[in-house]
Structure 1
Amino acid sequence: MSGPQCCENPPTLNPKSGSGRVEKLGGLDAYVIGSPDSTRAILLVSDVFGYEAPNLRKLADKVAESGFYVVVPDYFYGDPYDPKNQDRPIAVWIKDHGADKGFEQSKPVVEALKSKGITSIGAAGMCWGAKVVVELAKDALIQAGVFLHPSFVTVDDVKGVKVPLAVLGAEIDHMSPPELLKQFEEVLASKPEVKSCVKIFPKTTHGWTVRYSTDDPSAVKAAEEAHKDMLDWFVTHL
């Protein structure tokens, strides 16, 4: 179901990380930050390690500084993947936390955002989260989407996308290798009504945008470049 790259470089989770707060939104606990007066929201859909990852929350804080209301839901109800739990490998864990469930859980979150006066919503998915985002994009429940090193997304998924989509991929990635991303690019190019961008980052590996070491300047630089590309996409299309 998923390769070892999906589980490499696990973050040290910290429920107190970030400058935002945790509140209930659409039935889920969610890390939220940003002006409550904003009419534009960004949904950040985590990888299997969940919403308490410090780098992910740092990214949420950065996006909020650009004027967006940012939401990072806990799709796993306090049960993120734990690579130290030998009795529950990723293939077993993911049966309890399929992306199809994440998609269904996103619907009330989207409705809750609309009830706050949000008029445009973007969603960015990392790894596992990209599969959730593609389903939102196929149903046009969001106005723009971004994949960051996606997992489980298929060519048929991409064929169904109805909103502007950016795909940010890694050169060294067994989950979504460059060959697959090139297929995504070809499909998107055949859909002129859907704005799209596919970019492959050299020398990067799966998970590089949120599971980088803050002590590695080159890793930080590559992650920050992807963050800027993601933010620029939302600024342009929301």
Structure 2
Amino acid sequence: MSCPQCFSGSVHEGTPKGEITKLHGLDAYVSAPPQEPAKGIVIIVPDAFGWEFVNLRLLADHYAEKGNFKVYLPDFMNGHPASTAVLTAVPKLVGGGGLWAWLAKPYWLFLLVKIMVPFFIHNRFGKVWPVVESFFKTVRENEGANLPIGVAGFCWGGKHSVVLAHGTSSVNGKPLIDAAFTGHPSMLDFPSDIEKIKIPTSFALAGEDFVVPASKIELIQKIIEAQPEETKGESKVYVGTGHGFCVRADHISVEKERAATEAEDQAVSWFLKYFAKTSY
């Protein structure tokens, strides 16, 4: 299930350094590691704004630079992401204001519905999951045959990263991924999606998230704590943050900027830890 928080936040400034290419049949943004060989491959499954969202491309660059990873950001949505226009519409709709602001709310509601309904139709899990799974299988069969692979999924992509962490698919006896990270995931089935996790998974959770509220955070932590030591995951709650903070944090706020950077480092450290344990 989703909420307005899934479609709120800010667009970041910066110039992505990676390349746009065709990768295993999908358009993709690729960030190269500063040095060869790469320590592993990280594949980002994006939030609602898709592979062209500048914030995610900058994040891909940061992962590559900090971890010496090869990072892929594919178009799993087949050209149907949510428009960044909703980042303007949401605060207009849920905020206060004077008479003119209230009179304009029907317009902003219409715009939100116009963008969000097609997004959910085109990008429902059952339709996109085969595309995601196929891409990971192809990477494992090819350039990832002898390299560790990690997934980083955000909001919409969080569901896919957690399902990949169930470890139900493999290629030549190798799992599709060796480690998973998810920031403020949405659309999870509780508790089953968490209970099925078999691949080490790191959660970055927002302290003020309507999608994964405190009760569900406690459930995630309880299930993780009971996992076997060799595959035990981790969770970190970022106090004072809302849904989307890993990708769409308002960098005017020092605290939110710090939380986004810490979550970034959390992901990099997690991948480095488990990539070092992987040998193919």
Three-state SS of the structure 2 residue aligned to 1:157 is helix
* 4+ runs deviating over 6 angstroms: none
Alpha-carbon distance in structure 2 between the residues aligned to 1:44 and 1:183: 25
TM-score (norm 2): 0.78
Aligned partner of 2:126 in structure 1 is: 100
The 10-residue stretch of structure 1 (208-217 or 228-237) with the greater mean CA deviation from structure 2: 208-217
CA distance change for structure 1 residues 149 and 87 in 2, over 3 Å: closer, same or farther? closer
Aligned partner of 1:5 in structure 2 is: 5
CA distance change for structure 1 residues 80 and 10 in 2, over 3 Å: closer, same or farther? farther
Alpha-carbon distance in structure 1 between the residues aligned to 2:205 and 2:220: 11
Code of the aligned partner of 1:156: S
Aligned partner of 1:202 in structure 2 is: 239
CA distance change for structure 1 residues 86 and 223 in 2, over 3 Å: closer, same or farther? closer
Aligned partner of 2:157 in structure 1 is: 129
Aligned partner of 2:22 in structure 1 is: 24
Which structure has more helix as a fraction of its residues?
A: 2
Three-state SS of the structure 2 residue aligned to 1:106 is helix
* Matched-pair identity in %: 31
Give 5+ residue unaligned stretches, structure 2.
90-110, 169-174, 276-280
Q: Which has the larger radius of gyration?
A: 2
CA distance change for structure 1 residues 80 and 27 in 2, over 3 Å: closer, same or farther? same
The 10-residue stretch of structure 1 (228-237 or 34-43) with the greater mean CA deviation from structure 2: 34-43
Q: Alignment length, in residue pairs?
A: 236
Aligned partner of 2:97 in structure 1 is: none
Code of the aligned partner of 2:161: V
Alpha-carbon distance in structure 2 between the residues aligned to 1:120 and 1:103: 21
Aligned partner of 1:76 in structure 2 is: 77
CA distance change for structure 1 residues 108 and 172 in 2, over 3 Å: closer, same or farther? same
1:181 to 199, 202, 217: 217
- 8 Å CA contact 1:9, 1:211 repeated in 2: yes
Which structure has more strand as a fraction of its residues?
A: 1
Asked if residue 222 in structure 1 is aligned to residue 223 in structure 2, the reply is no
1:142: how far off? 0.9
CA distance change for structure 1 residues 89 and 10 in 2, over 3 Å: closer, same or farther? farther
TM-score (norm 1): 0.90
Aligned partner of 2:182 in structure 1 is: 147
Alpha-carbon distance in structure 2 between the residues aligned to 1:10 and 1:29: 24
- 8 Å CA contact 2:10, 2:250 repeated in 1: no
- 8 Å CA contact 1:23, 1:29 repeated in 2: yes
Give 5+ residue unaligned stretches, structure 1.
none
